[in-house]
Amino acid sequence: MTMIIKKDWLTIGEVSELTSVPIHTLRYWETEFSGYFNPLRTSGRQRRYNEEAVDRVLMIKSLLKEEKYSIAGAKQVLDRQLHPEDAALMGTFGPMMESNNQTNMEQLPAPPVAN
């Protein structure tokens, strides 16, 4: 995404307006998706979003609102998109988790990945 506003950072209000995500939702997503985006904080504890953080907000919004993923499902998609090497390892070692024709973890079909 190319920033519409030519600044190094945006406030939470500007990000809310730009992405059409309410401020309280951005704060909630910050806690739920803490491993995926963390806005910078000023010494006065005000949030400052850079371009990468805004991109992540838009990605999370798309997964939750348009593609109808749960928060847990969206985290799995983000893991696969942001850490493809880890997803490849899980695919490699997946069969090793089976014993006596029973799986140790419930096998669920993978949700679609957005391009």
What's the pLDDT at 111?
64
Helical pair 71-82 and 51-61, crossing angle rounded to 10 deg: 130
Q: What is the pTM of this model?
A: 0.68
Residue pLDDT tens, the chain, 115 long: 554 557 889 999 999 999 999 999 999 999 999 888 888 899 999 999 999 999 999 999 999 999 999 999 999 999 998 877 765 555 544 444 444 444 444 555 666 666 5
What's the pLDDT at 38?
86
DSSP conformation letters of 42-106: -TT--EEB-HHHHHHHHHHHIIIIIS---HHHHHHHHHHHH-HHHHHHHHHHGGGGEETTEESS-
The CATH topology of domain 12-84 is Multidrug-efflux Transporter Regulator; Chain: A; Domain 2 (1.10.1660)
Parse the chain into domains and list their residue ranges. 12-84
What's the pLDDT at 37?
83
| DSSP-derived secondary structure letter, 8 | S
Contact 49, 13 (CB under 8 A): no
Kind and range of the H or E run holding 41: strand 40-41
